[in-house]
Amino acid sequence: MSTGNVRGRLSDTTAQEMVGAVLLLGIAVLALDLVRLLVTGELSIARLGSYLWAGIVDSLYIGLAAIGLSMTYSILRFANFSHGDLITTGAFSGWTVAYLVGGIGVADLSSRLLLRANGGAQPGAVGMDVLAAPLAIVLGLVAAVIVTVLVALAIDRLVYRKLRDEDGIALLIASVGVALALRYLLAVFYTTDTRGVVAQAPSPGGVDLHQLTLVVSAVSLMLGIHLLLQYTKLGKSMRAMSDNKDLALITGIPTERVIFATWVIGAGLAGAAGYLIVLDRGQVSINLGWFLLLLIFAAVILGGIGSIYGAIAGSLVIGITINLSLVWIPSDMNEIAAFTLMIVVLIFRPDGLFSGVETA
């Protein structure tokens, strides 16, 4: 299907602007309504605050994953459906290491190695929180990043590299295959049971330390990536490659090395996201990443593919949407709101809400 030109035609009309205006109007109405609810006291400030905070926390880990997805999308030119399972890989590998380290002398090897697949070694008993086992938690994060990167590189070598010249749809289909194989390979080892692996978060003075760890880690990782891309040639060569791969090759950009770097960053962030999500939620499951994937796609598309700041901004929109929408709609509809927003944006601003914003 080549609808590129139809899109071009569409972009000539003012439909875009019209829908944009309607969208803005809608947002304005909702904002006014929000004020009304606050004034009438139907919605307490505290509740609004907790929605917003939850939205920010959600958007941070969605954002971590979205940066990686956006980068691989723009540089390798395909929608990577296995990205969610990289997140899951990070969660399992990282927490396995955390358990292995933190559970020494407390729990038996099999519970630690397989993250309680047998139901033993409950997290409280092992002391899985940031105060009781800070070293284990940090090592786990490092391991999550490293293992996920290695897995992603191995997959690239075995699968995607062989499909470099194919079109995006072939790669997309292959990535669905990768997603299935990876997820259920994990399931064979860890079983499909959902289970808690993190102890209750210590919260001195009402500050949830696990959530705080998530926020601090996520923000520093994002900052790190920003600096890396801003102050090295890597950022520019990535943009050049996503613009025109053949020409990048001719210009002497070592494309395979850029792809390598893309996987390292993208998968590393995905792994970290997976690990941090579990730190916050407490439970790990085989479907962790897969269920998040569509939300991450929504964030990437909202922000505009290829733009890192777009991905972060898109994640904020998604995170806030799924939480703040609870003011008006029941909680089992909140993702419907997020997906609808994604579709509307895709149709009327195919380049994303934040297109035009410069990327590193």
Partner 1 sequence: MTALEERLSDRVSELGLPQWAVDLLLIGGVVLATYALFIVIGIVFGVSTNLIVGQLQQITFFAAVYALAALALNLHWGYTGLFNIGVAGFMAVGAYTMGMLTAAPDGSPPGLGLPLIVGVVGGMIAASLVGFVAALPALRVRADYFAIVTLGLSEIIRRALLSRSLQEFEIAGYALGTGGGSGIRAPSTDVVADYLLYVGADRTGDPTTLGAVLFESAELLGIQPSIIRNGVYTLILIAFVVAFYVLLTRIAYSPFGRILKAIREDELAARSLGKDTNRTKIKVFMLGCALMGLAGILWQGSRTQISPNSFMPIVTFYIFVALIVGGSGSNTGSIVGGFAFAAFLYQGPRFLRTIVRALVDVRAPPTIYDAFVPLASGDPLPLLGYAIGSLDEIRYIFIGLVLIVLMIRRPDGLLGHRKEIAAATDLSRRPAATNGGETDE
Partner 2 sequence: MGLLEVSDLDAGYGDLQILEGVDMTVDGGEYVTIVGPNGAGKSTVMKSIFGLTSYMGGSIEFDGAEISSSRPEDIIATGIGYVPQNDNVFASLSVKENLEMGAYILDDLPEDRLRGIYDRFPILEERKSQKAGTMSGGQQQMLAMGRALMLDPDLLMLDEPSAGLAPDLVDDMFDRIDEINDDGTAILLVEQNAKEALRRCDRGYVLVQGRNRYVDSGDALLADEQVRQDFLGG
Partner 3 sequence: IGDGVGGGGDADAMVGVLQPVTGDLGNLGAPIRDAAILPGTQLEDSDFTIDIREEDTESQPDAGVSGAKALVNAGYPAITGAASSQVTITVAEDTLIPNQVVGISPASTAPTITNLEDDDFLFRTCPSDALQGEVMANVAYEERGLESAASFYLNNDYGQQLSDSFVTAFEELGGTVSNTVSFEAEQPSYTSALESALADDPDMMIVIGYPASGEQIFRDYYSDFDSGQTIMVTDGLRDGDLPGNVDNSMDNVVGTAPLAAGPEQDAFTELFQEEYGDDPGVFTAQAYDATAVNILASIAAGETDGPAIRDSLRDVANPDGEEVGPSNLEEAVQLVDDGESVNYQGASSSVNFDDNGDMQAVTYEIFQFGDGGVETVEEIDFEA
DSSP one-letter code for 127: T
Residue 323 binds which entry of partner 2, partner 1, partner 3, none, CB below 5-8 Å type-dependent = partner 3
CA 283 to chain centre: 17
Residue 70 binds to partner 3 (criterion: CB under 8 A): no
According to CB under 8 A, which residues from 38 to 67 bind partner 3?
47, 50-51, 54
Contact 80, 175 (CB under 8 A): yes
SS3 131: coil
Span interacting with partner 3, options 71-79, 167-175, 200-208, 351-359, rule CB under 8 A:
200-208
Interface residue with partner 3 among 331, 336, 347, 356 (CB under 8 A) is 331
Q: Which of 34, 101, 150, 163 binds partner 1 (CB under 8 A)?
A: 163
Q: Which does 246 bind (CB under 5 to 8 A by kind): partner 1, partner 3, partner 2, none?
A: partner 2
Residue 174 touches which of partner 3, partner 2, partner 1, none (Cβ within 5-8 Å per kind):
partner 1
Task: Tell me if 174 contacts partner 1 by CB under 8 A.
Answer: yes
Please count the residues of this chain forming the interface with partner 3, following the rule CB under 8 A: 34
Q: What CA–CA distance (Å, rounded) separates 99 from 113?
A: 7
Q: Does 20 bind partner 1 (CB under 8 A)?
A: no
Q: How far is the CB of 69 from partner 1 (least distance, A)?
A: 11
Closest CA to 20 of 344, 351, 301: 344
Residue 1 touching partner 1 (CB under 8 A): yes
Amino acid symbol at 260: F
Write out the DSSP string of 183-216. HHHHHHHH-S--EE-SPPPP-GGG--HHHHHHHH
Contact with partner 2 (CB under 8 A) among 18, 21, 104, 247 = 247
Polymer length in residues for the chain: 360
Instruction: Report the residue number, 329 or 347, with the smaller CB distance to partner 3.
Output: 329
Q: Residue 273 or 301: which CB sits closer to partner 1?
A: 301
Q: d(Cα 152, Cα 105) in Å, to the nearest integer?
A: 33
Question: Of 143, 122, 119, which Cα lies nearest the Cα of 191?
Answer: 119
Residues 69, 86 contacting (CB under 8 angstroms): no
Which amino acid is residue 234, in one-letter code? L
Residues 10 and 191: their CA atoms lie apart, in Å, by 49
Q: Which of 14, 44, 50, 192 binds partner 1 (CB under 8 A)?
A: 192
220 lies in the binding site for partner 3 (CB under 8 A) = no
Q: Which two tokens stand for residue 304?
A: 């505009």
Q: Which residues of 63-99 are buried (b: 16+ CB within 10 A; e: fewer)?
A: bbbbbbbbbbbbbbbbbbbbbbbbbbbbbbbbbbbbb
Applying CB under 8 A, the residues found at the interface with partner 1 are: 1-7, 10, 78-79, 109-110, 113-114, 117-119, 159, 162-163, 166, 168-174, 176-185, 187-189, 191-192, 294, 297-298, 301, 330, 332-333, 335-336, 339-340, 342-343, 346-347, 350
Binding site for partner 3 (CB under 8 A): 47, 50-51, 54, 119, 122-125, 191-196, 198-201, 208, 281-283, 285, 288, 291-292, 322-323, 326, 330-332, 334
Residues that bind partner 2 (CB under 8 A): 233, 236-237, 239-240, 243-244, 246-254
